[in-house]
Amino acid sequence: MVKLQYAFAALAGLVGLAESKDSPRQRAKALLKKMTWEEKVAQMGSIRRLLKLGPEVDEENYESRYELQHGTIGFGPMFNWILDALPIVNDVREKEIKDSRLHIPFITVTDSVNGLFISGGTVFPSNLAMSSTFNLPLFKSVAEAIREEQLSIGVTWVLSPPLDISWEPRYGRIGELFGEDSYLTGEFGHTYVQTMQDKDKNGNIKVACTIKHFVYGESRGGVNAASQYGGINHLFNDQLRPYIRALEADPAAVMVSYASVDLVPMSMNEYMIQEILRGKLGFDGVVMSDAGSISNMYTQSRVATSYADAGLQALKAGLQMELSPGNPAVFPNLIDNVKDKTVAKLIDEAVLNLLTIKFATGLFDNELPDVETSNKTLRQPAHLKLAREADREGIVLLKNDGILPKTPKQVALLGPFGELLNAGSYAAINVSNPKWGDSLHTSLKSALGEKNVKFVPAVDLIDTADDSGIADAVSAAKDAGFAALMLGSLSAPIEDPLFKKRTDGEFFAHADLGLPGLQQQLLDAVLDTGVPTVLILTGGQPFVLNNSTLRSNAILHSLLGGEFTSSALVEIITGEVNPSGKLTISMPQLSSAIPAFYDYLPSDDTGGSEARLGFHSAYQWPVLTKDSPMPFGFGLSYTTFDISTPTAEYKNGNVNIRVTVKNTGDVAGKEVVQVYHRPNTSVGIEFPLRRLVRFEKVDLAAGESKEVKFQIPNKELGYYANAKLKVQEGLYNFWAGSSSRVEDLKGVNVTVTL
Amino acid sequence: MVKLQYAFAALAGLVGLAESKDSPRQRAKALLKKMTWEEKVAQMGSIRRLLKLGPEVDEENYESRYELQHGTIGFGPMFNWILDALPIVNDVREKEIKDSRLHIPFITVTDSVNGLFISGGTVFPSNLAMSSTFNLPLFKSVAEAIREEQLSIGVTWVLSPPLDISWEPRYGRIGELFGEDSYLTGEFGHTYVQTMQDKDKNGNIKVACTIKHFVYGESRGGVNAASQYGGINHLFNDQLRPYIRALEADPAAVMVSYASVDLVPMSMNEYMIQEILRGKLGFDGVVMSDAGSISNMYTQSRVATSYADAGLQALKAGLQMELSPGNPAVFPNLIDNVKDKTVAKLIDEAVLNLLTIKFATGLFDNELPDVETSNKTLRQPAHLKLAREADREGIVLLKNDGILPKTPKQVALLGPFGELLNAGSYAAINVSNPKWGDSLHTSLKSALGEKNVKFVPAVDLIDTADDSGIADAVSAAKDAGFAALMLGSLSAPIEDPLFKKRTDGEFFAHADLGLPGLQQQLLDAVLDTGVPTVLILTGGQPFVLNNSTLRSNAILHSLLGGEFTSSALVEIITGEVNPSGKLTISMPQLSSAIPAFYDYLPSDDTGGSEARLGFHSAYQWPVLTKDSPMPFGFGLSYTTFDISTPTAEYKNGNVNIRVTVKNTGDVAGKEVVQVYHRPNTSVGIEFPLRRLVRFEKVDLAAGESKEVKFQIPNKELGYYANAKLKVQEGLYNFWAGSSSRVEDLKGVNVTVTL
C-alpha cells in the first residue's frame, strides 16, 4: 500500500489563490471570477459513486459525468473496505488538484447515519437507536468519533443529520430518524451539527453537515416519497422545530425532501425554500436536492416538461446542487441557459455557496488523508467502547414479568434474526457476514458456551410458504427450557445479498406493523408451549404487539443497533447491563390505530366512554393505545426509581424545575428524567396535551438519590403563530417523570410573566 | 287535532315592518334599528330542542334559554311524529310572533340528511348511498321532495349539505358525506343547495341551506373532531373544491367544523373564516358554529380562558350564530361586552345576516304551516316512489360469480342486521321498530313466502362473548341451500334503543375497518359450508374484505340506504332490479392500507416492484389496493356495457368529449359513464394521476347504444396555485369508462389553447 502524503504548501501553491487570511467566502468569490460556465455548472453536480466493488475506479461513470458534474465525489459501494479504497480515492483527489485548470479539489460527500458509509469504520447505532439512549453527552461523544473517522478518510461533508419527525409509523425510514418528538430530534440534530462542524486549529470546519429532508416524515400512507400536507402552524410548531434548533449550529447545507409539500414537489417549492428556509429561518448555506429528486419532477411528478425544464425550475426555486446517483443528471443542462441573466446569477450564487464550503472545510489548505492516520483512527478502542456503550443504552426493555435478568444454562435461540446484523439500510454492514460483526448466536455462544445454545432460524424473513421449521423451534425451546426469539424487520443496504428480503428502510412502507413472514406464527407456537420466553425485536420501526405476543415473559426492542447490539443484548439478558433505553416512537396497538405519537392535540382526544367498543369505534385518541400503552419515553429497568414531585420557580425569565430521583431498587441503573409542559392559558394556537421540554439521564447506584435541575428560558415555552414565535404570560403546567404516560408523571404549575 | 291557519295579513300586521317590496336586507336593517342588545344577542342563539318525547314542549329548556338565545328553534327528539308535534310547535311559533316585543318569528332549523329530522317524513338514503347512485337528476328530485316535506312542517333552514370529502375511511361520519371525490361532492352539494333554495312565487327562498363542515373530513386517525392539516394548495384543490362549487348556488349559511385546522380551532380560525371564506371565496351569509364548538374552545381545546372569552374570540373570528345543544351556551355572555364598539359592530353584522335569512325565507310574510297540508305532503306517493328508486340505485354490486340474480326457493337470512334498518345517525328511523320500515327479513318473507325464509341473527352487533348462534346459522344455511348474510356496522341516532350497539356515525372512528363483533366468524363459518352465499354489507363506511370474505359468491354494499333498502335488496337479488350503484368511497384492502382514495398524486406512487412483499413493505400506492381493487366509481351490473374509446375536440374554450355506450348483455341496465382527466403539461402544482371531471348515468335496454356528450369548459381543467385558479395550455389526457380503475378506462388526448 502506497503511503500518500501531500504537503500543505505544495497544494496551496498549485491552487494559487488569495491568502488564507481571507474568509472562505472572500476566497470563493475570487475563485468564482476565474471560472468558466462549464466549470461552474460542474461544481453543482457530483460523481456520487467513484468506485466499483473491488475497489476500483468506475472509469465509465467518472468519464461520463466529469465534464459537467464534478463538484463532489462519493465512495460508492459500502462493502469496499476503506483502507483499500483510500489510496485509490486519494489518487483521484490528487489528480484533480494537480491537473484541473483551476486546481479546485473535489469535496467528498457521504451519508453518515451509523458512521462511515463504507466498511472499516466503527458501526454505531442508527439514529433511532441512538435517540433511545436519551443520552446527549454520549451522543456527542459518538458524533466526535464519527467525525474523526470521517475526517481520517477525507470526508468533509456529510448528508446528515436527518431532522424529520416520526409521526407516521408506517414510513420505512424512521430507523434513520431520532423519533417522534420535535424537541428531542432538535436536540440530537443540534448536537450532531455542532459536534461535526467543530473547528480545527486553523479555524476550518471539520465536517460540514447537511440537515434534511426539508421537510418529510409524514408521507401519505407512509409511502416513501409520497406527498404530505402543509400548514404554516403545523410546519413551525412540529416539522420545522428541529430545523430551527439545528440551524442555531449553522449547518453548511440543507437537503430538500422527495415529498410534495402542499402539492408542490420540494425540489421546486419556491415558497418553502425562499420564503420559509431563506426568509423566515434565515438559512444562507447550500440547498441541495435529494438523490434524483430534480429528475423526479419530470419523470414522476410531471410538473416539468423535460429534464431541462426540471433543472431550470429547480434552480429558480433555489436548488444549488444536485445529488444524482444515476444518469441522466439534470443540472448539466443548465449550461444551455447561461446566457439567461437570471440563470447565470443563480448559478453564480450556487457556486459561491459551494466553493465557500470547500474553503471553509480547509480543502484548499489541508493535506489529503493518509492511510496510516486513517488506520489509527478507525475502530480505535475508544470508538469501539463508545459504540458498545451506545448499543447498551439504546436497547429498550418493554416488558418483564421478572424473568430477566437471567443467565440460562441452556437457551434456544429462535428466529431468522439470530444470525443477522440489522443496523439499518445506511449502515456499512453485510447483514449475514460474520466479518462485519457478531450475531446474537455468536454472542450467546460466547457467553453461555457453544453447546448450550441451540439456534433454529425456523422461518424465513418474509416468505410465508414454508412453516416446517416451526416444529424444530418448538422442540428446541422445550429442550432448552428457555427461549430467546429474535424477530423483526430487515433493514439492509442496497448492496446486501439479503436486500431482497428486507422489509424496512428506504423505499419501504409498512401497511402492516406486525412481523413479516411467518415470524408471528413461530412466536405463537413457542409461547403456546409455556417455555419461558424472551422476545427481542429488531427493526427501525415500532411493532404492533398483539395479545399473543404480550404473553412473552420479557420483550426487548433493539431497534437498529450498531455492531455490538448482540453482545449488549446478552449483557442485558444476563443482567451484566441494566437496560436504560426509552422509546422515542410510540408503539401503536393496531396497525391502523395510527398515528400514535404522544403529543397529540386536545382536539384529537374528543372524550367519551365508548372504549368498550375497541378498535371498531375508537371514540378518542387514548383508546388507540389503551391496552398496554408503550408510548414515547417508555422503557423499563431492572431496578425501580422514584422521581419526586417537581418544584418550579419562575425567575429572571427562566422556569427552574427541580426533582429528586432515587434508585429504590437493589441494583445500579440509569433513569431518564423527563420534563413535559403545556401552557394552561389562552394561546390562540392549540397546544398538545403535553410536550417534552427537557430530559436528563441519571446514573444511580442502588439506594442513591440525586437532585436534577432544569432551567427553561421562557422563549422555549412559546409556540409559533403564523411563523412568529409567541410566548404567553400565565399559568403553565409542568410534569416530571419516567415516561410520557400520565401514570408516570407528577405535576407542578408555575406562572410565567414577561 | 286543531287545525291551525294564520292569515298572512294578520301576521304581517303584527310585525308592522317596512313594505315587503323592500329587499330582505333592507327590511332586516330597518328591524335591527329597533332592537335592544338583549334582543340582538338572542337572535344569535337557538332553542335547539323545543320538544320532549311525547311530544310536549320542554318548558324548562325553553325558559332557561329564551332570554338570550331564541333566534332559531329545532324540534328535538326525532322519534316524535311530526303530525303530533306540528300543532304544538305552531303554538310556540305563533306565540312568539304575537307576543314578543318586535314580533320576530322563530326560524326553524333542523338537520336534513335522509329527509326530515323528525319521524313521519319519507326516509331517503343517506348522502353516501345517494352519491352512489351517480344520478344527479334523481338526487334533484329527492331534494325537491325533501324540500317540500321540510317546508310543509315549517322548516325553512337546514343544516345541510355537508361537503367534506371522505379521504379518511376511518372517520365515522362519512355515511353523511357524498364520498371521496371533490368534484362529485361539489355537484351533489350544488344540486342540493340550488334545489332547496329554489324561490317561491313571491321570490322567497323555500329552504335556506348551510354548507358544512368548513372544513373537515380528514381528522387525525379518523377521530371525530380531531385536528387536521392545512396547506393552501391542498385546501383549494381538494377540500374547498366542493365549497367553491356549492357557493355558486349562494347558500344562506356556512357551518364551521369541530376541527382544528393547522392547529387553530375552526370556531376561532380568523384566517379560514375571514381570509379564505369571506375573502377568497366571497361568502357573505351567516357563519355559524357547530353544536357546542364554541364552548369546546374553553373546555376541550383550551384556547380560551373562559366561556366568555371563547365567545368573544369566536365572534371576533367571524362566528355569527351559535348552535348549542346543551347548556351553557356561550354567546349569551356577549351581552356583557356590548359597550365594546368592536363587539357591538360584530353583533349588528351578525344579526343583520340572521334577520336577512328570516326575511328572505318569507317568515315575516308567509302563513305558518298547517297540519292538513303537511299530512298531504309528507310521504306522498311520488316521494315514496322516489325513495324506492334512490334505494334501488344506491346499492352497489361488488362481486358476482354468476349466482345473482336468483330467486331462491328457500333462504337462510343470517346476521344481526336482518331485522334492522340502518339508515344513519341522522335518519329518523328507530332501527329495530317495524313501525319505521321493512327489514330484510320482512321483505324476503314478502317476496318468497314466510315459510321459505329462516332468519338467524346468530351473533350480536358488537359483543364477542357469545358465538353459540353460529352453529344454528350454519344449520340454517345448509337446510336452505342458499344463504344471505346481512352484516356491517350500525349507525343509529342518539335516541335509538340500540344506540349503545352502534359502531358507526357521529362520534365514532374505525381503527378497524372489518366487521364488528363476531360477524366475521359467522361469515367464515357459513362460507366454510360451501352453501351459495350472498353477503350484504350495511354501514356508512368501506369495509375491508379479506380473503375469506371474498369467497362469498356475491357481495352487495347497501351503505346507509333509506326506508326501502330491504325491498330494493330483494329486488336486486331476484333480478327484478338490475344494480347500478357505484362506490364513491374506495374499499381499502387492509385497515392500515389507507388512505385509499383514487385521486392520489404521482408522488404517492413511487414505483418499484416489491409488490411481492405485500403489506409489510408497500412500495407504492397501488400495492395498497392490488389484490381485488374496488376503488371509487366501481360497481357491477347484471348486464355488460361497452364504452367506446372517447373522442375529444377542443373548441371555443370547451373540451367536447363523446363516447358511445352499448348494453352488450341480455337485460336492461344503467351504466355510469365516467370521464377522468389530467393535464399532461407543466402545472407547477402536482396534479392527481386522474380526476373525475364528468359523469352521466345512462339507461339502456339490452342491445341498445347511446352516444353521450360531455362539454367541459377549460376553466374546469384548472387547478389552484396559492388560492388562484390557473388554467394551463397544452396537452390533456382524458379517459372515459365505467370506473376509476385503469382497466376500465379508455383514453384520448386533446390540446387546450387559451
Segment A17-34 mean pLDDT: 86
Res A6: pLDDT: 41
Q: Is A512 on the interface with B (CB under 8 A)?
A: yes
Segment B532-545 mean pLDDT: 96
| Grid cell for residue A470 | 416451526
Tell me which H or E stretch contains B400.
strand B396-400
Asked whether the beta carbons of residue B303 and residue A682 sit closer than 8 angstroms, the reply is: yes
| Grid cell for residue A581 | 433505553
Asked whether the beta carbons of residue B606 and residue A223 sit closer than 8 angstroms, the reply is: yes
Among the candidates B342, B361, B380, a domain finishes at: B361
Whether the per-residue pLDDT at A129 is higher than 50: the answer is: yes
Same domain, A309 and A405: no
Whether the per-residue pLDDT at A623 is higher than 80: the answer is: no
Length of chain A: 754
Could you give the CA distance from residue A395 to residue A390 in angstroms, rounded to a whole number?
9
A75-86 pLDDT, tens digit per residue, is 999 999 999 999
| Grid cell for residue B437 | 320500515
A287-307 pLDDT, tens digit per residue, is 999 999 999 999 888 899 999
DSSP string covering B589-643:
SSTTS----S---GGG----SGGGGGGGG--SGGGGG-SS-B-TT--B-SS-EEE
Output DSSP code: residue A2.
P
Q: Is B509 on the interface with A (CB under 8 A)?
A: yes
Same domain, B138 and B238: yes
Same domain, A220 and A112: yes
**pLDDT-derived band at A619, boundaries 50, 70, 90:** very low
Q: Is B536 helix (H, G, I), strand (E, B) or coil?
A: strand
CATH number of the domain encompassing residue B352 = 3.20.20.300
Could you give the CA distance from residue B162 to residue B357 in angstroms, rounded to a whole number?
19
Residues 6+ apart with CB under 8 A from A691: A181, A183, A599, A676, A677, A678
**pLDDT-derived band at B16, boundaries 50, 70, 90:** very low
Q: How far is CA A235 from CA A214, A280, A604, A688, B696, in A?
A: 11, 12, 18, 14, 41
Length of chain B: 754
Round the average pLDDT of chain B to a whole number and report it.
93
Question: B155: closest CA among B128, B120, B127?
Answer: B120
Output DSSP code: residue A40.
H
> Chain B: nearest CA to A444, how far in angstroms?
29
Res B8: pLDDT: 40
Task: Answer with the residue of higher pLDDT: B498 or B606.
Answer: B498
Taking the whole predicted model, whether its pTM rises above 0.90 is answered as yes
Interface test with B, best of A299, A617, A619, A691 (most B CBs within 10 A): A617
Burial class (CB in 10 A: 0-12, 13-18, 19+), B372: middle
DSSP string covering A318-377:
T--B---SSSPPSGGGGGGGTTSHHHHHHHHHHHHHHHHHHHHTTTTTSPPP-HHHHHHH
Segment A696-706 mean pLDDT: 98
Give every strand in the sheet of A483-488, ordered side by side: A396-400, A554-557, A533-538, A483-488, A411-414, A453-456
Whether the per-residue pLDDT at A1 is higher than 80: the answer is: no
Q: Tell me the chain B residues in contact with residue A234 when contact means C-beta distances shorter than 8 Å.
A: 229-230, 262-263
Residues 6+ apart with CB under 8 A from A19: none
Same domain, B233 and B296: yes
Could you give the CA distance from residue B314 to residue B268 in angstroms, rounded to a whole number?
5
Q: Is A507 on the interface with B (CB under 8 A)?
A: yes
Could you give the CA distance from residue B749 to residue A648 in angstroms, rounded to a whole number?
68
Could you give the CA distance from residue A511 to residue A514 in angstroms, rounded to a whole number?
9
Q: Is B667 on the interface with A (CB under 8 A)?
A: no
Same domain, A310 and A415: no
**pLDDT-derived band at B227, boundaries 50, 70, 90:** confident
Asked whether the beta carbons of residue B224 and residue A606 sit closer than 8 angstroms, the reply is: yes
Instruction: Report the amino acid identity of residue B436.
Output: W
Res B604: pLDDT: 80
Segment B556-565 mean pLDDT: 98
Q: Which of B223, B304, B687 lies nearest to residue A682, judging by beta carbons?
A: B304
Interface A:B, Cβ pairs < 8 A? 281
**Residue A272: how many CA atoms within 13 Å on its side-chain side?**
33
Same domain, A155 and A288: yes
Q: What percent of chain B has pLDDT over 70?
A: 94
Asked whether the beta carbons of residue A300 and residue B606 sit closer than 8 angstroms, the reply is: yes
Whether the per-residue pLDDT at A616 is higher than 70: the answer is: no
Res B601: pLDDT: 87
Whether the per-residue pLDDT at A257 is higher than 70: the answer is: yes
Res B607: pLDDT: 52
Q: Chain A neighbours among B 302-331 (CB < 8 Å)? A: 302-305, 309, 313
Could you give the CA distance from residue A667 to residue A701 in angstroms, rounded to a whole number?
7
Same domain, A171 and A291: yes
Interface test with B, best of A616, A685, A749 (most B CBs within 10 A): A616
**Residue A539: how many CA atoms within 13 Å on its side-chain side?**
33
CA angle B13-B15-B19, nearest 5°? Answer: 75
Segment A527-553 mean pLDDT: 96
Res A416: pLDDT: 97
Q: What percent of chain A has pLDDT over 70?
A: 94
Q: Tell me the chain B residues in contact with residue A691 when contact means C-beta distances shorter than 8 Å.
A: none
Could you give the CA distance from residue B693 to residue A286 in angstroms, rounded to a whole number?
42
**Residue corresponding to grid cell 373570528:** B317
Q: Is B590 on the interface with A (CB under 8 A)?
A: yes
B362-372 pLDDT, tens digit per residue, is 999 999 999 99
Res B612: pLDDT: 41
Q: Tell me the chain B residues in contact with residue A296 when contact means C-beta distances shorter than 8 Å.
A: 603
Same domain, A178 and A301: yes
Asked whether the beta carbons of residue A511 and residue B592 sit closer than 8 angstroms, the reply is: yes
Asked whether the beta carbons of residue B618 and residue A489 sit closer than 8 angstroms, the reply is: no
Asked whether the beta carbons of residue B510 and residue A234 sit closer than 8 angstroms, the reply is: no
Same domain, A415 and A345: no
DSSP string covering B554-583:
EEEE-TT--TTHHHHHHHHHHTSS------
Q: Cis bond leading into A629, ω under 30°? A: no
Asked whether the beta carbons of residue A264 and residue B685 sit closer than 8 angstroms, the reply is: yes
B546 and B377 Cβ atoms separated by less than 8 Å: no
Same domain, B676 and B730: yes
Segment A364-372 mean pLDDT: 96
DSSP string covering B664-731:
-SSS-EEEEEEEEEEE-S--SS---S-EEEEEEEEEE-TT-EEEEEEEEEGGGG-EEETTEEE---EE
A319-331 pLDDT, tens digit per residue, is 999 998 776 799 9
Residue B613 lies in a domain: no
Question: A419: closest CA among A436, A444, A439, A443?
Answer: A439
Res A614: pLDDT: 54
Residue A150 lies in a domain: yes
A199-241 pLDDT, tens digit per residue, is 999 999 999 999 999 998 777 777 766 777 779 999 999 999 9
Task: Answer with the residue of higher pLDDT: A137 or B19.
Answer: A137
Q: Which of A172, A591, A619 lies nearest to residue B508, judging by beta carbons?
A: A619
Neighbouring CB atoms inside 10 A of A687's CB total 24
Nearest CA in chain A to B500: A610
Res A621: pLDDT: 53
Among the candidates A306, A341, A361, a domain finishes at: A361
Instruction: Report the amino acid identity of residue B40.
Output: K
A426 and A114 Cβ atoms separated by less than 8 Å: yes
Map A433-449 to HEC letters.
CHHHCCCHHHHHHHHHC
Q: Is A54 left (phi over 0), alpha (psi -120 to 50) or beta?
A: left
Same domain, A188 and A259: yes
| Grid cell for residue B240 | 374547498
Q: Is A602 on the interface with B (CB under 8 A)?
A: yes
Q: Tell me the chain B residues in contact with residue A268 when contact means C-beta distances shorter than 8 Å.
A: 684
Segment B382-399 mean pLDDT: 98
Neighbouring CB atoms inside 10 A of A531's CB total 18
Q: Tell me the chain B residues in contact with residue A594 when contact means C-beta distances shorter than 8 Å.
A: 221, 592
| Grid cell for residue B172 | 365515522
Asked whether the beta carbons of residue B259 and residue A603 sit closer than 8 angstroms, the reply is: yes
Could you give the CA distance from residue A317 to residue A278 in angstroms, rounded to a whole number?
11
Q: Which of B303, B510, B514 lies nearest to residue A617, judging by beta carbons?
A: B510
A606 and B172 Cβ atoms separated by less than 8 Å: no
Res B624: pLDDT: 53
Q: Tell me the chain A residues in contact with residue B615 when contact means C-beta distances shorter than 8 Å.
A: 510-512
Q: Is A680 on the interface with B (CB under 8 A)?
A: yes
Round the average pLDDT of chain A to a whole number and report it.
93
Q: Which of B221, B513, B621 lies nearest to residue A594, judging by beta carbons?
A: B221
Alpha-carbon Rg for chain A, nearest whole angstrom, is 26
Whether the per-residue pLDDT at A7 is higher than 80: the answer is: no
B513-538 pLDDT, tens digit per residue, is 999 999 999 999 999 999 999 999 99
Interface test with A, best of B240, B256, B616, B689 (most A CBs within 10 A): B616
Could you give the CA distance from residue A92 to residue A97 in angstroms, rounded to a whole number?
9
Residue B225 lies in a domain: yes
Could you give the CA distance from residue B190 to residue B112 in angstroms, rounded to a whole number?
15
Q: Name all contacts of A225-228 with Cβ < 8 Å and 24+ positions apart.
A: A225/A258, A225/A259, A225/A296, A225/B603, A225/B606, A226/A259, A226/B601, A226/B603, A226/B604, A226/B606, A226/B621, A227/A259, A227/A260, A227/A261, A227/A263, A227/B600, A227/B601, A227/B603, A227/B604, A227/B686, A228/A259, A228/A260, A228/A261
Residue B164 lies in a domain: yes
Whether the per-residue pLDDT at B29 is higher than 50: the answer is: yes
Residue A305 lies in a domain: yes
Tell me which H or E stretch contains A730.
strand A730-737
Q: List, in sequence order, the alpha helices (H) in A434-491.
A: 440-448, 469-480
CATH number of the domain encompassing residue B504 = 3.40.50.1700
**Residue corresponding to grid cell 419523470:** A299
Same domain, A431 and A544: yes
B653-689 pLDDT, tens digit per residue, is 999 999 999 999 999 999 999 999 999 877 789 999 8
Could you give the CA distance from residue A378 to residue B360 in angstroms, rounded to a whole number?
82
Res B590: pLDDT: 85
Q: Chain A neighbours among B 128-187 (CB < 8 Å)? A: 170, 172
Domain that holds residue B689: 641-752
Asked whether the beta carbons of residue A686 and residue B227 sit closer than 8 angstroms, the reply is: yes
Output DSSP code: residue A702.
T
Among the candidates A345, A361, A377, a domain finishes at: A361
Could you give the CA distance from residue A622 to residue A652 in angstroms, rounded to a whole number?
37
Interface test with B, best of A276, A461, A605, A686 (most B CBs within 10 A): A686
Neighbouring CB atoms inside 10 A of B336's CB total 13
Res B12: pLDDT: 45
Residue A374 lies in a domain: no
Q: How far is CA A634 from CA A481, A663, A744, B36, in A?
A: 30, 17, 9, 59
Interface test with A, best of B227, B617, B685, B732 (most A CBs within 10 A): B617
Segment B429-453 mean pLDDT: 97
**pLDDT-derived band at A197, boundaries 50, 70, 90:** very high
Residue A170 lies in a domain: yes
A46 and A323 Cβ atoms separated by less than 8 Å: yes
Whether the per-residue pLDDT at A589 is higher than 70: the answer is: yes
Q: Chain B neighbours among A 202-261 (CB < 8 Å)? A: 219-227, 229-234, 237, 258-261
Neighbouring CB atoms inside 10 A of A326's CB total 11
Q: Chain A neighbours among B 621-650 (CB < 8 Å)? A: 621, 624
Q: Is B213 helix (H, G, I), strand (E, B) or coil?
A: strand
CATH number of the domain encompassing residue A659 = 2.60.40.10
Whether the per-residue pLDDT at B4 is higher than 50: the answer is: no
B78-121 pLDDT, tens digit per residue, is 999 999 999 999 999 999 999 999 999 999 999 999 999 999 99
Residue B707 lies in a domain: yes
Res A595: pLDDT: 85
Instruction: Report the amino acid identity of residue B3.
Output: K
Q: Which of A226, A262, A604 lies nearest to residue B233, judging by beta carbons?
A: A262
Q: How far is CA A622 from CA A598, A637, B489, in A?
A: 9, 25, 22
Total tally of structural domains belonging to chain A: 3
Q: Tell me the chain A residues in contact with residue B540 when contact means C-beta distances shorter than 8 Å.
A: none
Task: Answer with the residue of higher pLDDT: B326 or B483.
Answer: B483
